[in-house]
Amino acid sequence: MADDSLALARAILDANAYMVLATADGSGAAWASPVWFATDDHRHLFWVSSPHARHSRNLAARPRLGIVVFDSTVPPGQGQGVYMSATAAELGGVDLDEGLQVYARGSSAAGLRTWSREDVTAPARHRIYGAVVDEHFVLDDHDERVLVDLRIV
């Protein structure tokens, strides 16, 4: 099952363009937001958002979050997802350049415009964010979460 779970998690992350961020504000009020994302290693996930968006403000207050990526096109009962716990933040410095490189490559491959540093730094409307995933899970045949180690090459 471990090899199957690993392959499943990678396939879901590679085949889907949106993830849902589950954030909370300083008082613990929850908020969920879908965002388009890019990754090249399944552990570092990047997206672009306004720093004024509720999920961005929440991450500034509480950088821990939950993330899920799933295929919403399949019939009920046939879907699978990757459930993740992570730490996220607005990127700056070298992290900004590295994240932007992955994000720009992903957006170009998807037929979207290529984002530049000027698009994600002041006074631009958007910023680039990155999440470092510390746990990935998929569901087994009994709807129980199975931990997947995506660091395995």
Q: Return d(Cα 33, Cα 102) in angstroms, integer.
A: 21
What type of residue sits at position 131? A
Of the pLDDT bands very low, low, confident and very high (cuts 50, 70, 90), residue 142 is: confident
Q: Would you say residue 109 lies in a domain?
A: yes
Contact 5, 24 (CB under 8 A): no
- Max CA-CA distance within the chain? 50
CB atoms closer than 10 angstroms to residue 1: 10
Q: Would you say residue 107 lies in a domain?
A: yes
Q: Verify cis geometry, omega within 30 degrees of 0, for the bond prior to 123.
A: yes
CATH code for position 16? 2.30.110.10
Total tally of structural domains belonging to the chain? 1
Domain range enclosing 66 = 2-148
> Looking at residue 143, what is its pLDDT?
86
> Looking at residue 47, what is its pLDDT?
98
Confidence (pTM): 0.94
CB atoms closer than 10 angstroms to residue 83: 20
Give the residue-averaged pLDDT of 1-21. Answer: 89
